[in-house]
Protein backbone atom coordinates (compact mmCIF):
# COMPACT_ATOMS: atom_id res chain seq x y z
CA UNK A 1 0.00 0.00 0.00
CA UNK A 2 1.06 3.58 -0.53
CA UNK A 3 2.76 5.44 2.29
CA UNK A 4 1.21 7.90 4.71
CA UNK A 5 2.79 10.52 6.95
CA UNK A 6 1.73 8.79 10.19
CA UNK A 7 0.13 5.56 11.33
CA UNK A 8 -1.39 5.46 14.82
CA UNK A 9 -2.00 1.95 16.18
CA UNK A 10 -4.76 1.85 18.78
CA UNK A 11 -7.93 3.95 18.94
CA UNK A 12 -8.35 4.44 22.69
CA UNK A 13 -8.01 7.89 24.27
CA UNK A 14 -4.25 8.07 23.62
CA UNK A 15 -4.53 7.00 19.98
CA UNK A 16 -7.64 8.98 19.08
CA UNK A 17 -6.29 12.01 20.96
CA UNK A 18 -2.97 11.85 19.10
CA UNK A 19 -4.75 11.46 15.77
CA UNK A 20 -7.01 14.46 16.43
CA UNK A 21 -4.06 16.70 17.32
CA UNK A 22 -2.19 15.56 14.21
CA UNK A 23 -5.20 16.14 11.95
CA UNK A 24 -5.59 19.65 13.35
CA UNK A 25 -1.99 20.32 12.34
CA UNK A 26 -2.81 19.46 8.73
CA UNK A 27 -1.46 15.91 8.73
CA UNK A 28 -3.46 12.88 7.62
CA UNK A 29 -2.91 10.05 10.08
CA UNK A 30 -4.24 6.55 9.55
CA UNK A 31 -5.73 5.12 12.75
CA UNK A 32 -5.81 1.33 13.11
CA UNK A 33 -7.42 -0.75 15.86
CA UNK A 34 -7.79 -4.47 16.39
CA UNK A 35 -11.36 -4.09 17.67
CA UNK A 36 -14.61 -2.72 16.23
CA UNK A 37 -16.14 0.19 18.13
CA UNK A 38 -18.04 0.59 20.35
CA UNK A 39 -16.28 -2.07 22.38
CA UNK A 40 -16.05 -2.85 26.07
CA UNK A 41 -12.89 -1.89 27.94
CA UNK A 42 -11.84 -3.16 31.40
CA UNK A 43 -11.42 0.07 33.33
CA UNK A 44 -12.64 1.83 36.47
CA UNK A 45 -14.28 4.47 34.18
CA UNK A 46 -13.16 7.38 36.38
CA UNK A 47 -11.83 10.50 34.67
CA UNK A 48 -9.87 12.83 36.94
CA UNK A 49 -10.67 16.56 37.17
CA UNK A 50 -7.33 17.31 35.54
CA UNK A 51 -8.44 15.46 32.39
CA UNK A 52 -11.64 17.42 31.78
CA UNK A 53 -9.89 20.44 30.16
CA UNK A 54 -8.15 18.04 27.79
CA UNK A 55 -11.50 16.57 26.76
CA UNK A 56 -12.76 20.11 26.13
CA UNK A 57 -9.79 20.82 23.90
CA UNK A 58 -10.54 17.71 21.88
CA UNK A 59 -14.11 18.96 21.36
CA UNK A 60 -15.94 16.07 23.03
CA UNK A 61 -16.78 17.44 26.48
CA UNK A 62 -20.26 18.78 25.67
CA UNK A 63 -21.25 15.56 23.94
CA UNK A 64 -20.03 13.47 26.86
CA UNK A 65 -21.94 15.66 29.34
CA UNK A 66 -25.11 15.30 27.27
CA UNK A 67 -24.99 11.58 28.09
CA UNK A 68 -25.32 12.41 31.83
CA UNK A 69 -22.13 10.79 33.12
CA UNK A 70 -21.60 10.36 36.83
CA UNK A 71 -20.04 13.24 38.74
CA UNK A 72 -17.10 12.52 41.02
CA UNK A 73 -16.51 15.48 43.31
CA UNK A 74 -14.40 13.47 45.74
CA UNK A 75 -13.41 10.06 47.05
CA UNK A 76 -13.99 8.09 50.24
CA UNK A 77 -11.38 5.49 51.16
CA UNK A 78 -11.67 2.78 53.80
CA UNK A 79 -8.56 1.21 55.29
CA UNK A 80 -8.34 -2.57 55.86
CA UNK A 81 -9.10 -1.88 59.53
CA UNK A 82 -12.33 -0.04 58.68
CA UNK A 83 -11.16 3.58 59.11
CA UNK A 84 -12.58 6.07 56.58
CA UNK A 85 -10.75 9.06 55.11
CA UNK A 86 -10.94 11.16 51.95
CA UNK A 87 -12.56 14.39 50.89
CA UNK A 88 -13.84 16.49 48.02
CA UNK A 89 -11.91 18.45 45.41
CA UNK A 90 -11.26 22.05 46.41
CA UNK A 91 -13.08 24.83 44.58
CA UNK A 92 -10.17 27.27 44.77
CA UNK A 93 -7.87 25.23 42.54
CA UNK A 94 -7.85 25.00 38.75
CA UNK A 95 -9.15 23.43 36.67
CA UNK A 96 -12.80 24.19 37.24
CA UNK A 97 -15.31 22.70 37.89
CA UNK A 98 -13.68 20.91 40.84
CA UNK A 99 -14.97 17.46 39.91
CA UNK A 100 -14.14 14.51 37.76
CA UNK A 101 -16.59 12.31 35.95
CA UNK A 102 -17.17 8.60 35.50
CA UNK A 103 -17.97 7.55 31.93
CA UNK A 104 -18.34 4.02 30.63
CA UNK A 105 -15.25 3.52 28.47
CA UNK A 106 -17.45 2.04 25.77
CA UNK A 107 -18.96 5.54 25.46
CA UNK A 108 -15.82 7.61 26.06
CA UNK A 109 -13.67 5.79 23.54
CA UNK A 110 -16.36 5.69 20.83
CA UNK A 111 -16.95 9.43 21.27
CA UNK A 112 -13.26 10.22 20.90
CA UNK A 113 -13.01 7.96 17.85
CA UNK A 114 -15.98 9.73 16.23
CA UNK A 115 -14.25 13.06 16.90
CA UNK A 116 -11.13 11.73 15.17
CA UNK A 117 -13.17 10.79 12.12
CA UNK A 118 -14.81 14.21 12.12
CA UNK A 119 -11.35 15.81 12.20
CA UNK A 120 -10.46 13.99 8.99
CA UNK A 121 -8.66 10.95 10.39
CA UNK A 122 -8.93 7.79 8.31
CA UNK A 123 -9.98 4.95 10.63
CA UNK A 124 -9.68 1.25 9.91
CA UNK A 125 -11.09 -1.09 12.53
CA UNK A 126 -10.56 -4.85 12.87
CA UNK A 127 -6.88 -4.44 11.90
CA UNK A 128 -4.63 -6.44 14.22
CA UNK A 129 -1.00 -5.37 13.89
CA UNK A 130 1.43 -8.29 14.07
CA UNK A 131 4.67 -6.90 12.63
CA UNK A 132 6.61 -3.68 12.20
CA UNK A 133 8.07 -2.85 8.81
CA UNK A 134 11.72 -1.83 9.03
CA UNK A 135 14.13 -0.15 6.65
CA UNK A 136 17.48 -0.75 8.24
CA UNK A 137 17.13 0.39 11.87
CA UNK A 138 14.13 2.62 11.11
CA UNK A 139 10.43 1.75 11.51
CA UNK A 140 8.60 2.62 8.30
CA UNK A 141 5.22 0.95 8.68
CA UNK A 142 3.23 -1.96 10.05
CA UNK A 143 1.70 -5.21 8.87
CA UNK A 144 -1.77 -6.11 10.10
CA UNK A 145 -4.39 -8.75 9.54
CA UNK A 146 -7.71 -7.42 8.31
CA UNK A 147 -11.24 -8.73 8.87
CA UNK A 148 -10.64 -11.59 6.42
CA UNK A 149 -7.39 -12.60 8.12
CA UNK A 150 -5.26 -11.60 5.16
CA UNK A 151 -2.09 -9.57 5.87
CA UNK A 152 -2.07 -5.91 4.89
CA UNK A 153 0.99 -3.64 4.74
CA UNK A 154 0.80 0.04 5.68
CA UNK A 155 3.83 2.27 5.22
CA UNK A 156 4.41 5.59 6.93
CA UNK A 157 7.09 8.10 7.83
CA UNK A 158 6.32 7.55 11.52
CA UNK A 159 4.39 5.00 13.58
CA UNK A 160 2.74 5.80 16.92
CA UNK A 161 2.00 2.81 19.17
CA UNK A 162 -1.08 3.56 21.27
CA UNK A 163 -2.38 0.01 21.59
CA UNK A 164 -2.69 -0.25 25.35
CA UNK A 165 -1.40 -2.26 28.28
CA UNK A 166 -0.50 -5.30 26.15
CA UNK A 167 0.80 -3.22 23.28
CA UNK A 168 1.95 -5.27 20.32
CA UNK A 169 3.97 -2.32 19.02
CA UNK A 170 5.82 -2.06 22.35
CA UNK A 171 6.69 -5.76 22.30
CA UNK A 172 7.90 -5.53 18.71
CA UNK A 173 10.24 -2.70 19.71
CA UNK A 174 11.73 -4.61 22.65
CA UNK A 175 11.07 -6.45 25.92
CA UNK A 176 8.37 -5.24 28.32
CA UNK A 177 8.76 -5.67 32.09
CA UNK A 178 5.78 -6.34 34.34
CA UNK A 179 5.22 -4.93 37.81
CA UNK A 180 6.46 -6.44 41.08
CA UNK A 181 2.98 -7.42 42.37
CA UNK A 182 0.91 -9.22 39.69
CA UNK A 183 -2.77 -8.32 40.00
CA UNK A 184 -6.02 -8.89 38.13
CA UNK A 185 -9.17 -6.77 37.99
CA UNK A 186 -12.80 -7.82 37.52
CA UNK A 187 -14.82 -4.92 36.13
CA UNK A 188 -18.61 -4.67 36.06
CA UNK A 189 -21.06 -1.98 35.01
CA UNK A 190 -24.21 -2.30 37.08
CA UNK A 191 -27.61 -0.70 36.67
CA UNK A 192 -30.41 -0.36 39.18
CA UNK A 193 -28.14 0.94 41.93
CA UNK A 194 -30.47 3.77 42.99
CA UNK A 195 -28.96 7.11 43.90
CA UNK A 196 -25.32 6.57 43.04
CA UNK A 197 -24.10 9.77 44.69
CA UNK A 198 -21.34 12.08 43.51
CA UNK A 199 -18.23 10.47 44.92
CA UNK A 200 -16.09 7.43 44.29
CA UNK A 201 -15.16 4.84 46.87
CA UNK A 202 -12.12 2.67 47.45
CA UNK A 203 -12.36 -0.12 50.04
CA UNK A 204 -8.95 -1.55 50.86
CA UNK A 205 -8.15 -4.96 52.28
CA UNK A 206 -5.04 -7.04 52.68
CA UNK A 207 -6.18 -9.14 49.70
CA UNK A 208 -7.04 -6.35 47.30
CA UNK A 209 -9.22 -3.32 46.60
CA UNK A 210 -12.86 -2.79 45.67
CA UNK A 211 -13.59 0.47 43.88
CA UNK A 212 -16.95 1.92 42.89
CA UNK A 213 -17.85 5.01 40.88
CA UNK A 214 -21.17 6.39 39.58
CA UNK A 215 -21.34 6.27 35.76
CA UNK A 216 -24.91 7.60 35.46
CA UNK A 217 -28.07 8.33 37.40
CA UNK A 218 -28.64 4.67 38.35
CA UNK A 219 -25.44 3.02 37.15
CA UNK A 220 -22.11 2.30 38.78
CA UNK A 221 -18.77 0.83 37.85
CA UNK A 222 -17.51 -1.73 40.36
CA UNK A 223 -13.94 -2.95 40.03
CA UNK A 224 -12.42 -5.65 42.22
CA UNK A 225 -8.61 -5.86 42.17
CA UNK A 226 -7.11 -9.12 43.44
CA UNK A 227 -3.72 -10.89 43.43
CA UNK A 228 -3.13 -12.93 40.30
CA UNK A 229 -2.76 -15.95 42.58
CA UNK A 230 -6.54 -15.87 43.00
CA UNK A 231 -7.12 -16.43 39.27
CA UNK A 232 -7.89 -20.13 39.72
CA UNK A 233 -10.87 -19.31 41.95
CA UNK A 234 -11.97 -16.56 39.56
CA UNK A 235 -11.90 -18.50 36.31
CA UNK A 236 -15.00 -20.74 36.63
CA UNK A 237 -17.47 -17.91 37.43
CA UNK A 238 -16.15 -14.32 37.30
CA UNK A 239 -19.57 -12.78 37.99
CA UNK A 240 -20.10 -14.94 41.05
CA UNK A 241 -16.58 -14.14 42.25
CA UNK A 242 -17.31 -10.42 41.87
CA UNK A 243 -20.64 -10.59 43.71
CA UNK A 244 -19.00 -12.49 46.54
CA UNK A 245 -16.43 -9.69 46.69
CA UNK A 246 -19.18 -7.04 46.79
CA UNK A 247 -20.65 -8.80 49.83
CA UNK A 248 -17.27 -9.29 51.47
CA UNK A 249 -16.46 -5.58 51.17
CA UNK A 250 -19.81 -4.56 52.69
CA UNK A 251 -21.66 -3.33 49.59
CA UNK A 252 -24.27 -6.07 49.27
CA UNK A 253 -27.09 -3.86 50.59
CA UNK A 254 -26.38 -1.16 48.01
CA UNK A 255 -25.37 -3.29 45.03
CA UNK A 256 -26.59 -6.80 45.71
CA UNK A 257 -29.72 -6.50 43.53
CA UNK A 258 -28.10 -4.43 40.76
CA UNK A 259 -28.05 -5.94 37.28
CA UNK A 260 -25.12 -6.29 34.93
CA UNK A 261 -25.25 -3.96 31.93
CA UNK A 262 -23.12 -6.54 30.06
CA UNK A 263 -20.82 -9.42 31.04
CA UNK A 264 -17.95 -8.62 33.38
CA UNK A 265 -14.49 -7.83 32.00
CA UNK A 266 -11.29 -9.27 33.42
CA UNK A 267 -7.89 -7.69 32.87
CA UNK A 268 -4.34 -7.80 34.20
CA UNK A 269 -1.64 -8.17 35.23
CA UNK A 270 -1.01 -4.46 35.68
CA UNK A 271 2.03 -2.23 35.37
CA UNK A 272 4.07 -2.64 32.23
CA UNK A 273 7.34 -0.87 31.51
CA UNK A 274 8.57 -1.13 27.92
CA UNK A 275 12.32 -1.30 27.56
CA UNK A 276 12.12 0.97 24.53
CA UNK A 277 9.54 3.76 24.19
CA UNK A 278 10.99 5.31 21.03
CA UNK A 279 12.92 4.17 17.99
CA UNK A 280 13.81 5.87 14.72
CA UNK A 281 10.41 6.36 13.08
CA UNK A 282 8.33 5.25 16.07
CA UNK A 283 7.16 6.17 19.56
CA UNK A 284 4.76 4.84 22.18
CA UNK A 285 1.99 6.77 23.95
CA UNK A 286 -0.63 6.06 26.62
CA UNK A 287 -0.62 2.71 28.39
CA UNK A 288 1.69 1.34 25.68
CA UNK A 289 4.40 3.76 26.90
CA UNK A 290 4.16 2.49 30.47
CA UNK A 291 1.18 1.46 32.56
CA UNK A 292 0.65 1.78 36.31
CA UNK A 293 -2.46 0.92 38.28
CA UNK A 294 -4.07 4.35 38.79
CA UNK A 295 -5.89 5.31 41.98
CA UNK A 296 -8.69 7.66 40.96
CA UNK A 297 -8.78 8.14 37.20
CA UNK A 298 -5.27 9.31 36.35
CA UNK A 299 -5.03 6.90 33.41
CA UNK A 300 -7.18 9.01 31.07
CA UNK A 301 -5.27 12.16 32.03
CA UNK A 302 -1.94 10.48 31.26
CA UNK A 303 -3.29 9.19 27.93
CA UNK A 304 -4.63 12.57 26.78
CA UNK A 305 -1.65 14.59 27.97
CA UNK A 306 0.64 12.00 26.42
CA UNK A 307 -1.30 12.38 23.15
CA UNK A 308 -0.45 16.10 23.13
CA UNK A 309 3.22 15.35 23.72
CA UNK A 310 3.30 12.63 21.05
CA UNK A 311 1.65 14.85 18.45
CA UNK A 312 4.05 17.72 19.17
CA UNK A 313 6.99 15.33 18.77
CA UNK A 314 5.75 13.80 15.53
CA UNK A 315 4.92 17.15 13.92
CA UNK A 316 8.34 18.55 14.82
CA UNK A 317 10.15 15.46 13.54
CA UNK A 318 8.28 15.51 10.23
CA UNK A 319 8.78 19.23 9.71
CA UNK A 320 12.52 19.00 10.48
CA UNK A 321 13.70 15.41 9.98
CA UNK A 322 17.23 16.23 11.12
CA UNK A 323 15.86 16.95 14.61
CA UNK A 324 14.00 13.65 15.02
CA UNK A 325 16.53 12.00 17.32
CA UNK A 326 16.65 15.03 19.63
CA UNK A 327 12.86 15.35 19.67
CA UNK A 328 12.39 11.67 20.52
CA UNK A 329 14.87 12.11 23.37
CA UNK A 330 12.93 15.08 24.73
CA UNK A 331 9.69 13.10 24.38
CA UNK A 332 11.20 10.33 26.55
CA UNK A 333 12.15 12.87 29.21
CA UNK A 334 8.69 14.46 29.07
CA UNK A 335 7.12 11.03 29.59
CA UNK A 336 9.35 10.47 32.61
CA UNK A 337 8.16 13.77 34.08
CA UNK A 338 4.54 12.89 33.32
CA UNK A 339 4.46 9.28 34.49
CA UNK A 340 7.37 8.76 36.87
CA UNK A 341 6.23 10.69 39.97
CA UNK A 342 2.67 9.36 39.77
CA UNK A 343 3.94 5.80 39.48
CA UNK A 344 6.09 6.31 42.57
CA UNK A 345 3.09 7.61 44.55
CA UNK A 346 1.07 4.57 43.48
CA UNK A 347 3.82 2.20 44.55
CA UNK A 348 4.00 3.87 47.94
CA UNK A 349 0.24 3.42 48.35
CA UNK A 350 0.45 -0.23 47.25
CA UNK A 351 3.27 -0.84 49.71
CA UNK A 352 1.33 0.75 52.56
CA UNK A 353 -1.84 -1.24 51.82
CA UNK A 354 0.11 -4.50 52.00
CA UNK A 355 1.58 -3.58 55.41
CA UNK A 356 -1.13 -3.34 58.10
CA UNK A 357 1.34 -1.90 60.62
CA UNK A 358 1.81 1.04 58.20
CA UNK A 359 -1.56 1.61 56.53
CA UNK A 360 -3.60 1.88 59.72
CA UNK A 361 -1.51 4.67 61.31
CA UNK A 362 -1.51 6.50 57.96
CA UNK A 363 -5.29 6.11 57.69
CA UNK A 364 -5.69 7.38 61.24
CA UNK A 365 -3.60 10.47 60.41
CA UNK A 366 -5.55 11.18 57.20
CA UNK A 367 -8.87 10.72 59.01
CA UNK A 368 -7.78 13.11 61.78
CA UNK A 369 -6.30 15.62 59.32
CA UNK A 370 -8.76 15.92 56.41
CA UNK A 371 -6.57 18.57 54.81
CA UNK A 372 -3.82 16.02 54.28
CA UNK A 373 -6.28 13.55 52.74
CA UNK A 374 -7.50 16.38 50.52
CA UNK A 375 -3.94 17.13 49.41
CA UNK A 376 -3.48 13.51 48.36
CA UNK A 377 -6.80 13.72 46.55
CA UNK A 378 -5.73 16.82 44.59
CA UNK A 379 -2.55 15.02 43.50
CA UNK A 380 -4.34 11.85 42.40
CA UNK A 381 -6.96 14.03 40.70
CA UNK A 382 -4.23 15.55 38.48
CA UNK A 383 -4.90 19.02 39.86
CA UNK A 384 -1.52 19.20 41.59
CA UNK A 385 1.73 17.45 40.65
CA UNK A 386 3.04 14.71 42.94
CA UNK A 387 5.76 17.14 44.08
CA UNK A 388 3.03 18.94 46.05
CA UNK A 389 3.21 16.11 48.59
CA UNK A 390 6.70 17.38 49.47
CA UNK A 391 5.97 21.11 49.33
CA UNK A 392 6.03 22.78 52.78
CA UNK A 393 3.45 25.39 51.80
CA UNK A 394 0.97 22.71 50.79
CA UNK A 395 1.54 20.78 54.01
CA UNK A 396 1.07 23.86 56.16
CA UNK A 397 -2.10 24.72 54.29
CA UNK A 398 -3.37 21.14 54.59
CA UNK A 399 -2.73 21.19 58.33
CA UNK A 400 -4.58 24.48 58.67
CA UNK A 401 -1.55 26.46 59.85
CA UNK A 402 -1.86 29.11 57.16
CA UNK A 403 -3.23 29.61 53.63
CA UNK A 404 -1.72 27.46 50.93
CA UNK A 405 1.20 28.98 49.02
CA UNK A 406 1.29 27.39 45.58
CA UNK A 407 4.61 26.57 43.96
CA UNK A 408 5.32 28.56 40.82
CA UNK A 409 4.38 26.93 37.55
CA UNK A 410 1.82 24.50 38.93
CA UNK A 411 -1.07 24.15 36.56
CA UNK A 412 -2.48 22.01 33.83
CA UNK A 413 0.93 20.95 32.47
CA UNK A 414 2.74 20.86 35.80
CA UNK A 415 3.38 17.12 35.44
CA UNK A 416 5.61 17.72 32.45
pLDDT at 128: 98
Average pLDDT over residues 333-340: 89
Give yes or no: residues 277 and 250 share one domain. Answer: no
Model pLDDT, residue 106 = 95
- What's the rounded Cα separation, in Å, for the pair 30 and 51? 25
What is the residue-averaged pLDDT of the chain? 88
Same domain assignment for residues 166 and 236: no
Residue 360 belongs to a domain = no
- The average pLDDT across 210-239 equals 87
In a domain, 373, yes or no: no
Indicate the pLDDT class of residue 217, thresholds 50, 70 and 90. confident
Q: How many domains is the chain partitioned into structurally?
A: 2
- Give residue 133's pLDDT band: very low, low, confident or very high (50, 70, 90): very high
- State residue 414's pLDDT score: 42
**Structure confidence by residue, pLDDT tens digits, 303-329:** 999 999 999 999 999 999 999 999 999
Nearest residue to 267 (alpha-carbon basis) of 238, 246, 288, 243: 238
CATH code: domain of residue 112: 3.50.50.60
* 14 and 138 in a common domain: yes
The answer, yes or no, to whether residue 415 has pLDDT greater than 50, is no
Higher pLDDT, 398 or 310: 310
Q: Which is higher by pLDDT, 368 or 410?
A: 368
Q: Looking at the predicted structure, is the pLDDT value of residue 347 above 90? A: no
Identify the bridge partners of residue 265 per DSSP, sorted by sequence position.
187
Distance CA 134, CA 132 (A): 6
Q: Residue 331 belongs to what domain range? A: 3-70+103-179+271-345
End-of-domain residue from the set 345, 374, 392: 345
Whether residue 117 sits in one domain with residue 213: no
Q: Under 8 Å CB-to-CB from 183, ≥6 apart: which residues? A: 208, 225, 226, 227, 228, 268, 269, 270, 293
- Calculate the alpha carbon distances from 292 to 192, 339, 342, 350, 405 in Å: 31, 9, 9, 11, 30
pTM: 0.91
pLDDT for 95: 75
Q: Is residue 278 located within the same domain as residue 226? A: no
Residues 231 and 275 in one domain: no
C-alpha–C-alpha distance, residues 256 and 246, integer Å? 7
Tens of pLDDT, residues 87-109: 999 888 887 778 899 999 999 99
Are residue 213 and residue 162 in the same domain, yes or no? no
**CATH code of residue 221:** 3.30.9.10
Q: Are residues 173 and 297 in the same domain?
A: yes
203 and 225 share one domain: yes
Amino acid sequence: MSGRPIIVVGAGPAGSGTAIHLARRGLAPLLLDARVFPRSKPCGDAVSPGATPLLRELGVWDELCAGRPGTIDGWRIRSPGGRWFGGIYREDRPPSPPAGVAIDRRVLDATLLAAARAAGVEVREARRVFELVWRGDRVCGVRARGPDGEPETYRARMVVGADGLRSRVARLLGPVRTGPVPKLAIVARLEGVGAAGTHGELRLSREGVLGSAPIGPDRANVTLVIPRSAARRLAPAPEGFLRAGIARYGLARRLGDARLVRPVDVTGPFEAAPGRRTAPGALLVGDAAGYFDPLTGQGVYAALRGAELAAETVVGALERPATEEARLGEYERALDRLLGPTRRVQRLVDGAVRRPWLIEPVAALLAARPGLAGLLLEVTGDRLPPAALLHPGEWLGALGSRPVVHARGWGRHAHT
